[in-house]
Amino acid sequence: MALEEARKARLRGEVPVGAILRDGSGRVLAADGNRTEELHDASAHAEMLVLRAAAGLRGSARLPDCDIVVTLEPCPMCAAAISAFRLKRVIFGAYDPKGGGIEHGPQLYRAPGSHCRPEVIGGVREQEAGQILKDFFAALR
């Protein structure tokens, strides 16, 4: 589902990153793709959008039984938000050596001041997620 959200984002002219947020039973609470261009909002990353939507649906700023599935390693902003929302697990596709905030860059969940340290599973369908991004950027050149 996150890959499909990434494809939809690409069709909108957005960097093709998609995310879903699901509860402990696996029910999808929110799904979206990047909307930074559409909304003229640098914080409108797929992760931020699904976090906000799920929190609104639940009526709570904490989502401790939830997982986020995203096609690209979250950036530092999104990784910090995931921690603030107290998610249980982060599952992502492609690694992001330039802009990632979990396995690369600041590695926020390894920092002593991290609010919460969710379980992290990276590289899920990594090739497919990475190819969507490669195709998007190749078309821009």
What are the catalytic residues? 47
What is the C-alpha to C-alpha distance for residues 78 and 2, in angstroms, rounded to an integer? 16
Residue type, 98: K
| Side-chain-side CA neighbours of residue 54 (13 Å) | 30
As a whole number of Å, the end-to-end CA separation of the chain is 28
Q: How far are the Cα atoms of 37, 51, 68, 92, 141 from residue 47, in angstroms, in the given order? A: 15, 6, 8, 11, 26
Which residues are within 8 A (CB) of 39 and not within 5 positions of it... i.e. 6 or more apart? none
